[in-house]
Amino acid sequence: MAKIAHALDWPLVEGVVSDLDGVVYRGKAAIQDAVETFQDWRAAGIPYCFVTNNSTHSAGDVVAKLNSFGLEITEDNVVTSAVTAAQLIRQSHPAGTRIYVIGAPSLKKAIADAELEITDENPAVVIMGLDREITHEKLRIAVDAVLKGAQLMGTNPDLLLPTPTGFEPGAGAILTAVATAARVKPIIVGKPEVHMIEAALSRLGTDRASTLMIGDQIPTDIQAGKRAGLCSVLVTTGVPPVNDPTLQAPDFVISSLKQIPSAR
Ligand SMILES: [Mg+2]
Q: Which tens digits make up the pLDDT trace of 194-204? A: 999 999 999 99
- Average pLDDT value for residue range 199-219: 95
Fold topology of 82-188: Rossmann fold (3.40.50)
pLDDT score, position 242: 75
pLDDT at residue 238 in the model: 86
CA 33 vs CA 36, 192, 256: distances in Å: 5, 25, 6
Looking at domain 7-53+191-263, its CATH architecture is 3-Layer(aba) Sandwich (3.40)
How far apart, in whole angstroms, are the C-alpha atoms of residue 48 and residue 76?
Answer: 10
Q: Is 21 a catalytic residue?
A: yes
Residues in CB range of 164: below 8 A, 6 or more apart:
27
pLDDT tens string 66-81? 999 999 999 999 999 9
CATH topology identical between 7-53+191-263 and 82-188: yes
Specify the 3-state DSSP secondary structure of 205. Answer: coil
Q: Which of 9, 21, 158, 207 is catalytic?
A: 21
> Residue ranges per domain, the chain?
7-53+191-263, 82-188
Strands 187-188 and 151-154, by their bridges, are parallel
pLDDT tens digits, 49-63: 999 999 999 999 999
pLDDT at 5 over 60: no
- What's the pLDDT score for residue 92? 95
End-to-end distance of the chain based on CA atoms, in angstroms?
26
CA 123 – ligand 1 centroid, Å = 32
d(CA 42, CA 16): 11
Would you say 204 and 49 are in contact if contact means Cβ atoms under 8 Å apart?
Answer: yes
Ligand 1: centre distance to CA 80 (Å): 13
Is 170:163 a contact under the CB 8 Å cutoff?
no
Task: Provide the pLDDT for residue 8.
Answer: 64
The three-state secondary structure class of 241 is coil
